[in-house]
Structure 1
Amino acid sequence: MASWQIIVAGVVGVIVVSIVTNVLSQVLFRDPNKPPFVFYWIPWVGSAVSYGMDPYKFFEDNRKKFGDVYTFMLLGRKLTVALGPKGNDFVLNAKLNSVSAEDAYSHLTTPVFGKGVIYDCPNYRLMEQKKFAKGALTVRAFQSYVPLIVEEIRQFWFKSPEFFGGNSDRPSGRTDLSVALPQLTIFTASRTLQGKDIRAKFDESFADLYHDLDRGFTPVHFVFPNIPIPITFKRNAAQKKVSDTYMEVIRERRRTGDLSEFDLINTFMKDAVYKDGVRMSDREIANMQIGILMGGQHTSASTSTWAMLHLGADKEIQNALYEEQVAVCGENLPELTYENLQELPLLNSVIRETLRMHPPLHSLMRKIRSDIAIDGTRYVLPKGEYVLAAPGVPMIDPQYFKDPLTFRPRRWEETRNIINLNDSSEAAVISKGAKSPYLPFGAGRHRCIGEQFAYVQIGTILSNFVREFTWTLPPGSSVPTPDYSSMVTLPNKPCAIVWTRRRISEKK
């Protein structure tokens, strides 16, 4: 036998022995004090393929077999899923000494955001950082943001003829939302949250750098954060360049002393002093801007795209949104204001319904710091493993939402914040608490602080599109299925709309 044949036979033998050993260990050694385990054939890989292709199908298939609590293997990590409102509460409201988001995510996020912020610091520091950020998320700030967002939308239409006709006043066209809306949301978010000097950078190569940062959030980086491949090198270079750019802006603002705008950079420069008297460094402030803009842009781009697609498939709701604009703002449709947005219940129901059907994140993980028992069971989860909440599961569960897979914004007018009020199922109140069946922004200490800004940004974008255009999906197409290959759940391509400008007489 040739030497290469011996090597191949040896490798095959090792693989076979590993698989057999793995299977026997699952079949013969079951711990009654641990949740049921999802069977898998290939060691280390586990259920990565089925979970990665469609996590919601994976959750539901295994819930039918095991109930709301079970464990699966994901690329060498043991994750215990806890489904439903009780599962959300167990994971998202767990004590800090029991589970940790920082331990679960810091290896993935720190190379992208930078040192000293988000998950690269003790939890009490992150809680204070979130508090600092709220200074730029006030009603007064939102009132100033709406006209800036409107201005950005109009400039986007004018400067992007490939999307919406530009200055040609083209009466109709077709647009790929997967390209157009991520651009628009990052333009509007950077202008409002970070100021005109940062927004100006996005007309150059800055957006490409953010794209390189975004590509650092991949499943392979979750397991091997510093794997030596081209996208890792680009991620690292982009992080330094973007952080240095924010540093230049911070230095210039300190030089001029002009901190008058309501934006996050100014807020952190003025107020970011921790309770122990330590002030955030300028580098940490710069890194914080990366994390906030990436987090907000991803979720708003996703939600805006899904909303536009569903409205393209539902002409009745689209027309009702236009009529609501006229009724609230007046027949001549003057400039939209923050106060207008508060008086548009159908618009806000559209956003709410979109988030119900398409929450940006399908899984929220925590690493277990000390052995933790699951109430009502005999299960004890050991330190070093992971727990996973899936807030999107109850949001498409018929126990809580009638016809859950149907886009029906008016359900929010009917529920009065109580799901299945007149149904035989137990009523469930919609709230910000971790036991709520509706948690698109998470819950607990890590709940997203950007909910109000998201409604302002997305609401302003949708309002202006409804005023200017009518649109449908391309002939013969339907709302796309979700793409779960990235961190944020986006529509599969193609996700296009066919639009027509409203007649001038129609808008008066």
Structure 2
Amino acid sequence: MGFSFNSTVLPAHDAWSGYLADAHKFLPDSTLRLALLAFINIPVIVIVLNVLRQLVLPKNPSLPPEVFHVIPYVGSSPAYGNDPIAFLESCRKKYGDVFTFVLLGRKMTVALGSAGNNFILGGKVANLSAEDAYTHLTTPVFGKDVVYDCPNEKLMEQKKFIKVGLSADNMRAYVGMIEHEVSQYLRKDPSFRVFQMNDINEWGQFDVLTASQEMTILTATHTLQGKEVRSGMDTTFAQLFTDLDGGFTPLNLMYPNLPLESYRKRDRAQKKMADFYVNIIKARREGMSTNDEPDMISALMGQTYRNGTPLPDHEIAHILIALLMAGQHTSSATAAWALLHLANHPEIAEELYQEQVKRFSTPDGALRLPTYEELKSLPVLDSVIRETLRIHPPIHSILRYVRADLIVPGTLSAPSKDSQYVVPKGHYVLACPAVAQVDKSLWSKAEEWIPSRWTDPEGQAQQAFKQYTDENGEKVDYGFGAVSKGTESPYQPFGAGRHRCIGEQFAYLQLGTLLLTVIRNIEMRIPSGVPPPNYHTMITLPKQPRMITYRRRKFD
């Protein structure tokens, strides 16, 4: 989540002269002078009072320290929006693990580190609400009565329904579907013209983010969304997705109801896309459409809530939209970062290729497709994905709305031994697992992409992963089946607690199959190096230029 601000452009001198001449017609000189003085001085006075409030007035010792800021309402928004990780780490050095900053009028109390993550992500729903923090962003995009537009206990049931479509049998079938889509994309997309030519020594270029976004949406629609949706990707559905995606931005999060065309396009696209899904569901129920591949539509059509109410068709449609939108952004971002690092480290890409040669070579010299179980047992692939998620978690900050005054645990920074911080009702709390994942006190060469750190069974990476997956057997059932809590781990690529990503296993499958298919077909380089992250988007994406140079792989 990031923000950018544009300065206001003042009218030219001649325009101001015109405004003043018009004002003289209606206002006496004295009134006009007072109005001009107020116009000039009131903002200055407000800023001065805001600064004096922070410097002079006594502070409430029960409140976390507040990050100093000059302009009211705006607060620390520019610093946080441009580089949240650097901003939070600098505040941590000055204020400790717990502090509050102002983000466009909202009071954000940050709790960093493993203890901070546990405090926020492991908090009780009665105190900390994800729904109140996100519904104004997600409901216009996903639709009513699902995700954050329903009580938490209903969301937990919906997550349980989704797990039916992510069964092991379905995952086994999805491997071949994903490999087929990626292979076809490499053969048909104009960006990969070199891939189609006979000269294996010729090099071409492709935009890694564009390619990753297109490959992930093709693979997601073919597997989870169903054949009707996949066939629509070449027609009107693709434009609906683009318009709906335009409503999933930091601007929409902070200002949910602006009179902008992008908002109107979002609303029109949401309705049309929901109707598109509902028509598919109705056609299947009436026997007008058949499906011979496992998908989420079939899995959801037979689900019933605990109170006996069948899952309505409009909720099925909205869940499918939520799965497509949320999964598309996170998976495409991770795939792009992984390919960038592999292009920057061709020796690791070669290790990834040789891992396939060793395991999946056939007598005729080709490479067979790994099974779902085999995909989960490839150490180089696993290390590449885990390390990419450590350095580049798709979502850097996680918010909760504080429903009731909340005492910060004593294990976090406190004003004294005899008192504790209290986060007031109406504040937001912010967890940033991304900070813990590059904490220099926890990780050796924390900011470097080093997949091999995950192969050391006694290293910090493996210890963090064991804590994340609760290998000791401590599981929690929030209403959608027993899962590892993972809230105290310094490694949380898919969130933690009751809102941990339900599609984690599918994401690994999708990313793994995509990376293996690309690597077995092309060699990659990136002369410009891996670009820095762009924090001005909902999901952390690579900045431009992000062109990868490639050529067809030579086969022995």
> Do the two structures share a fold, i.e. TM-score over 0.5?
yes
Deviation (angstroms), 1:428 = 8.7
Equivalent pair of 2:465/2:489 in contact (CA under 8 Å): no
CA distance in 2, matches of 1:428, 1:452: 16
- On the 8 A contact 1:400/1:428 being kept in 2, the answer is no
Structure 1 residue 503 displacement after superposition: 1.9
Counterpart selection for 2:71 from 24, 27, 42: 42
Superposition deviation, residue 253 in structure 1: 1.1
Shift of 1:179: 1.1
2:349 pairs with 1:321? no
1:348 to 382, 386, 393: 382
Q: Aligned residues: percent identity?
A: 47
TM-score (norm 2): 0.86
How many Å separate the matches in 1 of 2:427 and 2:370?
49
- How has the CA–CA distance of structure 1 residues 314 and 166 changed in structure 2, closer, same or farther, with 3 Å as cutoff? closer
Q: Equivalent residue for 2:9?
A: none
State the match for 2:8 in structure 1.
none
Shift of 1:164: 4.8
Report the Cα distance in structure 2 between the residues aligned to 1:441 and 1:420, rounded to whole angstroms. Answer: 16
**Counterparts of 1:418 and 1:427, CA distance in 2:** 9
Cα shift at 1:208: 2.4
Which structure 2 residues correspond to residues 379-458 of structure 1 after superposition, within 5 A? 379-416=421-458, 418-419=460-461, 429-431=467-469, 432=484, 433-458=486-511
How far, CA to CA, are the matches of 2:450 and 2:263 in structure 1? 42
User: Is the alpha carbon distance of 1:196 and 1:182 closer, same or farther for their aligned partners in structure 2, counting shifts above 3 Å?
Assistant: same
> How far apart in 2 are the matches of 1:170 and 1:254?
51
Cα contact 1:161–1:167 (8 A) shared by 2: no
- Judging changes above 3 Å, is the alpha-carbon distance between structure 1 residues 288 and 169 closer, same or farther for their aligned structure 2 residues? farther
Question: What residue identity is the alignment partner of 2:47?
Answer: I
Paired position in structure 2 for 1:61: 90
Query: What's the CA shift for 1:173?
Result: 0.7
Give the secondary structure class of the aligned counterpart of 1:38. Answer: coil
Question: Which amino acid is 1:9 matched to?
Answer: L
CA contact (8 A) 2:454 2:462 kept: no
Any idea what SS the aligned residue of 1:203 has?
A: coil
Amino acid aligned to 2:443: F
Count of aligned pairs: 498
1:270 aligns with 2:290: no
Q: 1:181-260 residue pairs with structure 2 within 5 A?
A: 181-256=212-287, 258=290
Q: 2:325 corresponds to which residue?
A: 294
Q: Say if 1:365 and 1:386, in contact at 8 Å, map to a contact too.
A: yes
- Structure 2: which amino acid aligns with 1:408? I
The answer to whether the aligner puts 1:121 opposite 2:150 as a matched pair is yes
For residue 161 of structure 2, what is the amino acid of its counterpart? Answer: F
Counterpart of 1:478? 529
Distance 1:302 1:355 in 2: 10
Cα distance, 1:503–1:100 mapped onto 2, change above 3 Å: same
> 1-side partners of 2:251 and 2:316: how far apart?
28
Q: CA deviation at 1:430?
A: 4.4
Question: How many angstroms does 1:26 deviate by?
Answer: 1.9
Partner amino acid, structure 2, of 1:240 = K
Indicate conservation of the 8 Å contact 1:419/1:429, yes or no.
no
Quote the residue 2:402 is aligned against: 368
CA distance in 1 between counterparts of 2:191 and 2:524 reads 16
Q: Aligned Cα RMSD in Å?
A: 1.9
The alpha-carbon deviation at position 338 of structure 1 amounts to 1.6
Q: Which moved more, 1:379-388 or 1:21-30?
A: 21-30
Shift of 1:393: 0.8
Shift of 1:416: 4.6
Q: Does 1:14 align with 2:42?
A: yes
- Deviation by residue 1:276-298 (Cα, 9 ceiling, x = unmatched): 11222111110111111111111
Deviation at 1:418, TM superposition (A): 4.3
Alpha carbons of structure 1 residues 412 and 495: separation in structure 2 relative to 1, 3 Å: same
Cα deviation code 1:124-178 (max 9, x no counterpart) = 0000000100011121111000110111112212221224546445643100012
Aligned to 1:487: 538
Q: Does the residue aligned with 2:204 lie in a helix, a strand or coil? A: strand
Q: State the shift of 1:233 in Å.
A: 0.9
Stretches of structure 1 lacking an aligned partner (at least 5 in a row): none
Letter in 2 for 1:470: E
Instruction: Compare CA radii of gyration and give the structure with the larger one.
Output: 2
Contact (CA 8 Å) 2:194, 2:551: kept in 1 or not? no
Q: Is the partner of 2:217 in helix, strand or coil?
A: helix
Distance between the aligned counterparts of 2:128 and 2:194, measured in 1? 51
Measured against aligned partners, the alpha-carbon deviations of 1:360-388 in whole angstroms (never above 9, x if no partner) come to 00100000011110011311111111000
8 Å contact kept, 2:443–2:460: no
Q: Which is worse superposed, 208-217 or 412-421?
A: 412-421
Q: Which amino acid aligns with 1:21?
A: L
- The letter for the 2-side match of 1:368 is V
Using a 3 Å threshold, how does the CA distance of structure 1 residues 169 and 234 change in structure 2: closer, same or farther? Answer: farther
Q: Structure 1 residues 185 and 317 mapped into 2: Cα distance closer, same or farther (>3 Å)?
A: same
- Partner Cα separation in structure 2 for residue 181 and residue 442 of structure 1: 22
Tell me the amino acid that sits aligned with residue 358 of structure 1: H
- Confirm or deny that 1:309 pairs with 2:329: no
Question: Which residue number corresponds to residue 553 of structure 2?
Answer: 502
The code of the aligned residue for 2:349 comes to Q
Instruction: Summarize the Cα distance change of 1:300–1:23 in structure 2 as closer, same or farther, 3 Å threshold.
Output: same
Structure 1 pair 117–428 and aligned structure 2 pair: CA distance change class (3 A): closer
Aligned equivalents of 2:244, 2:58: Cα separation in 1: 43
TM-score (ref. length: structure 1) = 0.94
Kept after mapping to 2: 8 A contact 1:402/1:420:
no
Cα distance per residue 1:443-488 (max 9 Å; x no partner): 0110001111011001001101111111000x3x110000001110
Partners of 2:106 and 2:466 in 1: CA distance:
33
Aligned pairs for 1:101-180 within 5 A? 101-165=130-194, 167-168=196-197, 171=200, 172-180=203-211
Letter in 2 for 1:451: E
Segment of structure 1 superposing worse, 54-63 or 201-210: 201-210
8 Å contact from structure 1 (residues 117, 284) kept in 2: yes
Q: From 117, 124, 129, give the equivalent of 1:88.
A: 117
Bigger mean CA deviation after superposition, 143-152 or 18-27: 18-27
